[in-house]
Structure 1
Amino acid sequence: MTHLYTENKRKAFLLLALLFGLIWQAHASAPKNLKVTPEPGWAIKLPARTTTKINPDHVNGGYHYLLTNVQYELALQETYHQYTYKLLTEEGVQNSSEIRLNFDPNYEQLLLHKVQVWRNGKAINKLDLAKVKVIQREEGMDAGIYDESLTAILVLDDIRVGDVIDYAYTSKGYNPVFGGKFFTGFNLQQYDPVDELLVSMVVPQGRKLQFKYHLDARKPETSTSNGKTSYTWHLKNLPATKMDNNLPDWYDPYPGVYVSEFKSWQEVARWALPLFEVKEAPSKKLQAKIDSIKASTGSDEGRVEAALHFVQDEVRYLGYEAGIGGYKPHMPNQVFANRFGDCKDKALLLAYMLRQMNIKASPALVNTTLDGHISNLLPSPSAFNHCVVRVELLGGKTYWYDATISKQRGSYNNIYMPAYGKALLLAPGTKTLAAVSGPVTEGPTVKVREIYSIDKVENDVVLEVRTEYSGAEADYQRSSFATTSMSDIEKNYLNFYANAYPEIEFADNLRFEDNELDNIFTVIEKYSIPGFWQPQHANEDVLEAWFSPLVFNGYISRLQSSKRTMPMALNHPVHVEQSIKVLLPQAWPLDNQDQEIDDEAFWYSRKIAYSSKGTELNIDLAYRSKQDFVSPEATATYLRNQKAMVDNMVYGLTFNKGLVDSISDFKFSWTVGIMSLLTLVLLGFGAYKLYFWDPAPVGGELPYGGESLGGWVIVPLLGLIFTPFSVIVSFISEGYFNANLWENISGNGSGAFLVGAEMAFNLALLAFSGLLITLYLKRRSSVPKLMVAFYVSRLAFMLLELALTSAWGIGVANEKFGSNLLGTFAGVAIWVPYFLLSSRVKSTFVERLYPQHEEVYAEEEEEQAAVR
């Protein structure tokens, strides 16, 4: 019995201890700054609203606000809230039957006044502090921000359609970081209609508020009593705001009021500057890092790059922003030791490190969404949501950097900076906002080059893609490749093209090249596309192939709304180019096309060019945005231009299988053959005449037969001997005598002219090279000048051809043409001076058709005999 009693006693003691612990834990976890109190006596009381005349079809979400009531008492640092709304549908009951109130426990108290449900004209009290759950949600956790804010949640029971929920509370305490300064902003109209709205501010007479009214916002009614001034907006039957979609981030569609106790941006800078003041010396480890950067780089520019890369890539983004921490950065030693920080922490660390290297650097506050429209706001700390750094190098040149962007590369003067527009520089003497300037990029940030190789219509098509990213696009791609497995990247790339070509497969592994110095990131792809040509639905004998600039298309803003009263947002800045080259198995009888659209918001160009022989198609597209929005009055024009652009991006080819034989089989053109023969006869006659040209040797008459062919003189002869063979091969490969070629380019006048000119010049080369070989072997005196003419004429014709193709938009200037042009230019540069200046040339090509040196010898012998 004694043992049993002792065991029961032990169990009872443990149970009591557990119960005591639970009670203590519940008491300890209940926030001291949450309690139930009466409504404040200073707040304006409004009659209860329980009915509305608003049509339920005119509101969203299944509920409707009857009253929105917000009042500020600046001296007490209290804000009173009252909200009354009616549940109209089951969805409204589902989504709006719990009350959530956020507050910061570091400086704020939450005073609950009432929570009641009106049903059938009677109020049902629902305020029970025991049912209020307080949780720490950390809504910014996914973005790396922890602010310790709490959410008080009251789940209402027994809620039905038609109930009116009415609750009121006061938040007491303002963030001490602002030094007692007040600022806020509010709308006087909402997306849905509101029956009644009240906003009031009670301000001590010694405190001066600045007001700015947005759109057609009304001014307040003002009254003064007991040393306080009240500003009140009391509005009823507010209509819904008629909003357009796709609004720019900086555009506020609601009439509203901005309020601030800060008189100027200079005053905001004076407030913020002490928060960023560093009074401590660098720690040993931080100093060691600074010394390492100084030792490894000998210039200020290099040190800026090294410090920026360290803070961007080795100090991860994570912020504790509870209370004052939302505005005051942590000191550099702490951030360096933790190796993490938010935007202001990282900005201050970067600026501090650069200052320790005697480089002028200052943090600066910016707004990431207003894009330069921050000047529309009143001066206040709430105008900013981000922190960057401005650096001033020798000579006074300034550069801006964002320390939160990882994997940025490039030199100090071309590192991408987002278009933040305006910044508040945290430096002594700041009086106004400064313009944020990033590196100026003239060319496209995305350049796509696709090559479709089609050796035969029935075969698989090979697609090679080379995409070159620069600026912000290179930073993004570099970061994406660093955080994604190559297998997933390849899968995403393949699926991207599979939307257009379902049977596509990789023909080679995806590769990338990273030029960090110039900040150019290049992705290289190669695919095989079976079934590229598909039969038309109406006629299966006709195959069609479509070439769509898929990458290019992804950067174009596609907007549909035409009836607007508000600006329409566009992707900006965007500058992208895409070239599509199609290597065709045979000539296609099509014309070149050019199109250009110059809109207020964008510029677009498309050029379609076929090579002179019609076997190469080049499609070049370019798009450049001009601004980040379209004004309402310009929307109709924009949409027309957008449609014109989108409609002609995709280009198609057709192939009639029934005409394959007539297109591909060789059919000798007797007309071209006879004309070529006559041309060759005329050129041969000209060469025959030129054979009798008998100029004096370049080096003058020699008393002996000259040098034999040898040394470097042999090299040009080998090129001459090769020329007739290369011309004959060209005639065969280019199909000059194929009647189908001339039929297919007959509709292209410029192309036919160039093909004819090429053919005539090749015939001239055939005749001229045959003459030169003969003269060369005879070491005739005319060879040096004729060789100069040979080299110069080839270069001149190629330059003329290049000029004509550029002027007529014919895509002949491909890699092969470029290499041939370079080789011809090199030949001119080497051999023209050689034949004009070489002593070996002068002593070799001395033979004349009508020799004169024998008479000279005879005269010399007579003179010598006379002397003797």
Structure 2
Amino acid sequence: MILRGALLLLLALLPALAPAAAPVVHERGEFRFAVGPAPDFVVEQAVPDTWTADAGKDPAEPWRHWLLDQQVDRRDGRHVFYHAAAWQAGSQRLLGDAGKYSVSFSPEYQTLTLHALQVRRDGEWIDRLDADAVSLARRESGFENDLADGEVSALIVIDDVRVGDVVRIAFTIEGSNPIMDGHVANSFWLAAGAPLLYRHGRVLFDAATAARARVFGSDLQVRRRETRDGLEFSFTSAGAAAIRDTDDYPNWYRRYPSVEIARDESWADIVAWALPLYTVGDELPAELEARLPEWRALGDPYRIAGAVLRLVQEEVRYFGIEIADNTHRPNPPALVWSRRYGDCKDKALLTALLLRRLGLDAVPALVSTSWGKAIADGAPAASAFNHVIVRLRIDGRDYWLDPTLSAQRGDIRQLDLIDYGVALPVAAGVTAPVVVNPPERIHNALTIVERFAPAADGRSVDLRIETTYRGERAETIRRQLNGQSFAVMTEHWADYYRKRYGELAIATPASVDEDEEANVMKIVEHYTLADPWQRHGGTALLDTWPDALSGSLDLPGRVSREEPLRLERPETLRHEIRVELPEGWKLSSEPGTVSAAGGPIAYRRVLRQADGVVEMTHELKNDREYVDATQMRDYVAGLREAKAAAGMRLAFALPSALRDSERDRRLRDLLRGELDAPTGAR
């Protein structure tokens, strides 16, 4: 009887001990995905049964994240990423988002396996995973931005999702780009734009791996333990409130609290990884070899560097085919030149090679457009970077060149790449990211001068506008001029003044004057305004606005914020309005000076009259590219004061002859209206 009981127990256990069902592969043309169970290393987390009362603080939150669980197996050279999530739409408007999901992967080195797709309604889980309803598409979402990455998206539309349903999905992406060679960091958000009830994360390494966890913006403790299967890092958190998007952050600001888990490497290790990728011979195509003597003849290293930079910026267009190795391995410079296109690393390597052949110290440098200077605080990893520029060293000073930009002119000492924050030069001996300092000759500025010359009759006005762009402002307008018809742009400018002042005629076609050496652009416009005045008794009124300051005087989208606010680069904006007074005209508005300041900005308006000319000058200076959260109150108050002072109506007392003629004209118009009116209307 004992033997029979043991046999029955064994038979009962057999289903549990049986191997998991093998994944079933589904093909969609040249692409495929699988449906199967979660990998053995995964410790599955259950979706909570109920929403905790204080989770997310706001019980009426229209979107809820019930679960976010991400686990990564990095043992034995693998990279297996497991993702499970559950969410709930609390309103009809959000059902469209709740009822669809997409997963992207790179089929060259990754596979996708779907494990579960379920809907919980009235406490019961309903299976909604239908492999036949899954589409695979290579959408190339970056193609319009001149980038092809080869990613494929699994597109899933979920049947019958209703308000209040909890939707759960689980999948695994196995594989990572071989060229990264494990130099990647795994990042985990701890909060989102909607409340998050339960968060779990876990990473497994081989037992002998040196690894560490970093936590940003939270006091969360990450558990580290050694098991018989290897080294494990894990964490859990619960009840994370929604973090509202206040927009316009500096790129270095970490909006969400997060955890970063990676091998314990140094920046020197990342340089050692990158060096072989950017090591090429000195050979150049014959066409470029022929240009070297011409560049050497320039003599000055700054002029040589500027000439080379412009060649690569203007004659090699930006386009990236970033598939497999090409995500991080640049193409040979000869191939890039023959194609006349390349991505950031292609153009950076070509630029650095040309400069080295000309005797200059130039190397590619890795940067992050997403995180800026914040990467210096994170884990040393190749995955921290998404862009490549060039570090040029002259007389012991670093200069930074970005060959992917266009329309840059002038001395390289005034080129501004401060947004990148820090860069990791790909050069032997580099052990840490280097600060990308502002250039020594930076001068970003915009100046507009409007000259109004009223006719003696007090009606028409001759208006001349000179707009001068310097530095980055010049580069921006130069790119616009290169990409649009000048005739169309000038008509837009004329139409802008029509909206402000009524009917006008173009007195002289607009013109452009450019000083490439100084990186200055000047545009001149000339109009005849038919009658821009508003009249009140014997006073002529002219509405003015400092267009040079437009945009910079706008209040941020969210003025109540605890985060820093991104601004434009440090610059000086100046707008001058000059009115040449006809004989007998006098300024009625009170001359004087108005000032306002707050945070990094300072505004000043000066109104004065001298020698028959009224001059009003607006000037706004910004000395930093962001506003610290502690300065927001002062910054907003300063903006309000500046904006209130900027829009000003100038009043001019007319001479008696014009006042009389204006009165006579109004009487004639009144009488004409009375005479023309129907008899019954009088």
TM-score, normalized by the shorter chain, greater than 0.5: yes
Q: CA deviation at 1:461?
A: 1.2
What amino acid sits opposite 2:254 in the alignment? D
Q: SS state of the match for residue 508, structure 1? A: strand
Q: 1: distance between equivalents of 2:224 and 2:413?
A: 53
Q: 1:38 to 1:371 in 2, by over 3 A?
A: closer
Query: Quick check: 1:74–1:182 contact (8 Å CA) kept in 2?
Result: no
Whether contact under 8 Å (1:190, 1:241) holds in the other structure is: yes
What is the correspondence of 1:291-690 to structure 2 with a 5 Å cutoff?
Answer: 293-294=295-296, 297-393=298-394, 395-441=395-441, 445-456=445-456, 458-536=458-536, 542-559=539-556, 561-585=558-582, 586-588=585-587, 592-612=591-611, 615-655=612-652
Shift of 1:555: 3.4
Go from structure 1 to structure 2 and tell me whether the alpha carbon gap of 1:356 and 1:100 turns closer, same or farther (over 3 Å shift): same
TM-superposed CA distance for 1:102, in Å, is 0.4
Bigger shift: residues 554-563 or 211-220: 554-563
Q: Which amino acid aligns with 2:238?
A: K
Structure 2 counterpart of 1:36? 35
Residue 356 of structure 1 and its aligned partner are, at CA, apart by 1.9
Sort the Cα spacing of 1:506 and 1:260 in 2 relative to 1 into closer, same or farther, 3 A: farther
CA distance in structure 1 between the aligned counterparts of 2:604 and 2:622, rounded to whole angstroms: 12
Q: Which residue of 2 aligns with 1:210?
A: 212
Would the aligned equivalents of 2:110 and 2:176 in 1 still touch at CA under 8 Å?
yes
Alignment of 1:101 onto 2:103: yes
Paired with 1:123 and 1:27, the residues of 2 have a C-alpha distance of 25
Rounded Cα–Cα distance in structure 2 between residues aligned with 1:626 and 1:437: 14
Deviation (angstroms), 1:620:
1.7
Please give the alpha-carbon distance, in whole angstroms, between the structure 2 residues aligned to 1:660 and 1:383: 74
Asked if 2 retains the 8 angstrom alpha-carbon contact of 1:454 and 1:462, the reply is yes
Give the aligned partner of residue 716 of structure 1.
none
Instruction: Tell me the secondary structure at the aligned position of residue 413 of structure 1.
Output: helix
Q: What TM-score does the superposition give when structure 1 sets the normalisation length?
A: 0.68
Q: Which has the higher strand share?
A: 2
Residue of structure 1 in register with 2:152 after alignment: 150
Aligned counterparts of 2:499 and 2:123: Cα–Cα separation in 1: 60
Distance 1:453 1:262, change over 3 A: farther
- Distance between the aligned counterparts of 1:510 and 1:262, measured in 2? 60
Amino acid in the other structure paired with 2:152: L
String of CA shifts for 1:808-830, please: whole Å, max 9, x gaps.
xxxxxxxxxxxxxxxxxxxxxxx
Q: Is the 8 A contact 1:50 1:164 kept in 2?
A: no
2:269 paired residue number: 267
The answer as to whether partners of 2:589 and 2:652 remain within 8 angstroms in 1 is no
Q: Given residue 439 of structure 2, which amino acid in structure 1 is its aligned partner?
A: P
Tell me how far 1:419 sits from its aligned partner.
3.9
Q: Map 1:100-249 to 2 at 5 A.
A: 100-242=102-244, 244-249=246-251
Asked if 2 retains the 8 angstrom alpha-carbon contact of 1:512 and 1:522, the reply is yes
1:154 deviation in Å? 1.9
Q: Residue 158 of structure 1 aligns to which amino acid in structure 2?
A: D
From the superposition, tell whether residues 92 and 238 of structure 1 become closer, same or farther in structure 2 (CA, over 3 Å): same
Give the whole-Å Cα distance in 1 for the aligned partners of 2:654 and 2:603.
36
In the alignment, is the contact (CA less than 8 A) between 2:447 and 2:548 conserved in 1? Answer: no
CA distance, structure 2, for counterparts of residue 163 and residue 574 of structure 1: 52
Shift of 1:625: 0.8
Q: Counterparts of 2:273 and 2:605 in 1: how far apart (Å)?
A: 53
Q: CA deviation at 1:583?
A: 0.6
C-alpha distance in 1, partners of 2:352/2:60? 48
- What is the deviation of 1:417? 4.0
Q: Deviations over 1:662-682 (max 9, x none)?
A: 899xxxxxxxxxxxxxxxxxx
Residues 182 and 300 of structure 1, relative CA distance in 2, 3 Å threshold: closer
Deviation of residue 171 (structure 1)?
Answer: 0.8
- TM (norm. structure 2) is 0.86
User: Is 559-568 or 319-328 further displaced after alignment?
Assistant: 559-568
For residues 749-798 of structure 1, the C-alpha deviation after alignment (integer angstroms, 9 at most, x for no partner) is: xxxxxxxxxxxxxxxxxxxxxxxxxxxxxxxxxxxxxxxxxxxxxxxxxx
Deviation string 1:455-483 (CA, Å, 9 cap, x unpaired) is 33632111111111121111221221121
Asked if 2 retains the 8 angstrom alpha-carbon contact of 1:223 and 1:229, the reply is: yes
* Amino acid corresponding to residue 65 of structure 2 in structure 1: Y
Using the alignment, how far apart are the partners of 1:196 and 1:316 within structure 2? 47
Distance 1:649 1:567, change over 3 A: same
1:265 positional shift: 2.0
- CA-CA distance at 1:562 after TM superposition: 4.4
- SS where residue 271 of structure 1 aligns? helix
CA 1:210 to 1:289, structure 2 compared with 1: closer, same or farther past 3 Å? farther
Where does residue 667 of structure 2 map in the other structure? none
Q: Separation in 2 of the partners of 1:56 and 1:637?
A: 31
- Once the 2 structures are TM-superposed, how far is the Cα of residue 602 of structure 1 from its aligned partner? 1.2
For 1:386 and 1:482, how far apart are their aligned partners in 2?
A: 25
Cα gap change, 1:641 to 1:63, in 2 (>3 Å):
closer
Contact preservation (8 Å) 1:512, 1:523: yes
- SS of corresponding position for 1:324: helix
- 5+ residue gaps, structure 1, are 1-25, 665-868
User: Does the C-alpha gap of structure 1 residues 56 and 511 become closer, same or farther in structure 2, counting only changes over 3 Å?
Assistant: same
Identical columns (%): 25
Letter in 2 for 1:646: K
- Cα 1:292–1:544 change in 2 (3 A) is closer
**Residues 238 and 430 from structure 1, CA distance in 2 versus in 1: closer, same or farther, beyond 3 angstroms?**
same
- Paired with 1:392 and 1:344, the residues of 2 have a C-alpha distance of 19
Give CA deviations for 1:845-864 in whole Å, capped at 9, x if unaligned.
xxxxxxxxxxxxxxxxxxxx
Task: Summarize deviations over 1:677-732 as a string: whole Å, max 9, x none.
Answer: xxxxxxxxxxxxxxxxxxxxxxxxxxxxxxxxxxxxxxxxxxxxxxxxxxxxxxxx
Letter of the 2:203 partner, please give it.
Answer: M
SS of equivalent residue, structure 1 residue 372: helix
Aligned-pair distance for 1:98?
1.8
Secondary structure of residue in 1 paired with 2:420 = coil
Task: Flag the structure with more relative contact order, 1 or 2, with Cα contacts below 8 A and sequence separation at least 6.
Answer: 2
Contact 2:285 2:334 in 1 (8 A): yes
CA-to-partner distance for each residue in 1:320-345, whole Å, 9 max, x for gaps? 11123222211211111111011111
Partner amino acid, structure 1, of 2:543: W
Aligned residue type for 2:209: R
Superposition CA RMSD, Å? 2.9
Aligned partner of 1:451: which letter? R
Structure 2, unaligned stretches of length 5 or more?
Answer: 1-24, 662-682
Larger radius of gyration: 1
Counterpart-to-counterpart distance in 2, 1:331 and 1:43: 42
Residue 136 of structure 1, CA deviation: 0.5
Q: Is the 8 A contact 1:56 1:88 kept in 2?
A: no
CA distance 1:59–1:557, shift in 2 (3 Å): farther
Which has the larger share of helix? Answer: 1
| CA distance, structure 1, for counterparts of residue 361 and residue 655 of structure 2 | 75
Inter-CA distance 442–451: structure 2 relative to 1 (3 Å threshold) = farther
Contact kept? 2:26, 2:32, Cα under 8 Å? no
Contact 1:591 1:610 in 2 (8 A): no
